[in-house]
Amino acid sequence: MSQSNRYTLGELAGLLDVTLEGDADCLVTGLATLSEAGEGQISFLSNPAYTQQLKSCKASAVILTEKAGAAFAGNRLISTNPYVTFARATQLFDSTADHAAGIHPTAFIAASARVAADVSIGPHAVVEDDAVIGAGCRLAAGVVIGRGSQLGEGVRLYPNVVLYHSVSLGDRVVVHSGSVIGADGFGFAFDGEKSIKIVQLGGVRIGNDVEIGAATTIDRGALQDTVIGDGVKIDNQVQIGHNCVIGNHTIICGCAALAGSVTVGEYCIFGGGSGAVGHITVADRVQVSAMALLHKSVTEAGMVSSGTLAAPTAEWKRNALRFQQLDSLTKRLKDLERKVD
Measuring CA to CA, which residue among 89, 250, 102, 319 is closest to residue 262? 250
139 and 157 together in one domain: yes
Cα–Cα dist 341/335, whole Å = 10
49: Cα within 13 Å, side-chain hemisphere: 1
Beta bridge mates, 257:
239, 275
Element (DSSP H or E) covering residue 7: strand 7-8
Inside any domain, residue 2 = no
26 and 136 together in one domain: no
150 and 58 together in one domain: no
Inside any domain, residue 97 = no
Domain end call among 34, 57, 92: 92
**Beta pairing, strands 195-197 & 188-190:** antiparallel
CATH number of the domain within which 148 lies? 2.160.10.10
Helices (H), the chain: 9-16, 82-92, 313-340
Domain of residue 161, residue span: 102-304
Q: Give the E-state strand segments of 138-197 in sequence order.
A: 138-139, 144-145, 150-151, 156-157, 162-163, 167-169, 174-175, 180-183, 188-190, 195-197
Inside any domain, residue 257 = yes
321 and 188 together in one domain: no
Element (DSSP H or E) covering residue 293: strand 293-294
> What angle is formed at CA 122 by the lines to CA 121 and CA 128, rounded to 5 degrees?
55
Inside any domain, residue 19 = yes
Tell me how crowded residue 305 is: count the other CB atoms within 10 A of its CB. 13
Residue 259: φ, ψ to 5°:
-70, 175
72 and 210 together in one domain: no
296 and 319 together in one domain: no
Task: Using DSSP, state whether 257 is helix, strand or coil.
Answer: strand
Dihedral sign of CA atoms 261, 265, 267, 269 in order: negative
Cα–Cα dist 156/139, whole Å = 6
336 and 280 together in one domain: no
Measuring CA to CA, which residue among 105, 162, 104, 100 is closest to residue 131? 162
147 and 292 together in one domain: yes
Residue 211: φ, ψ to 5°:
-125, 135
Active site residue ranges: 242
Domain end call among 34, 60, 92: 92
pLDDT by residue for the chain (341 residues), tens only, comes to 344 689 999 999 999 999 999 999 999 999 999 999 999 999 999 999 999 999 999 999 999 999 999 999 999 999 999 999 999 999 999 887 777 889 999 999 999 999 999 999 999 999 999 999 999 999 999 999 999 999 999 999 999 999 999 999 999 999 999 999 999 999 999 999 999 999 999 999 999 999 999 999 999 999 999 999 999 999 999 999 999 999 999 999 999 999 999 999 999 999 999 999 999 999 999 999 999 999 999 999 999 999 878 899 999 899 888 888 888 889 999 999 998 87
Report the pLDDT value the prediction gives residue 95, as an integer from 0 to 100. 80
**Quick check: 29 and 5 in contact, CB under 8 A?**
yes
Measuring CA to CA, which residue among 57, 340, 134 is closest to residue 69? 57
Domain end call among 38, 64, 92: 92
Cα–Cα dist 231/228, whole Å = 9
Cα–Cα dist 27/7, whole Å = 6
293 and 203 together in one domain: yes
Q: How many domains does the chain have?
A: 3
* CA 292 remoteness from chain centre: 18
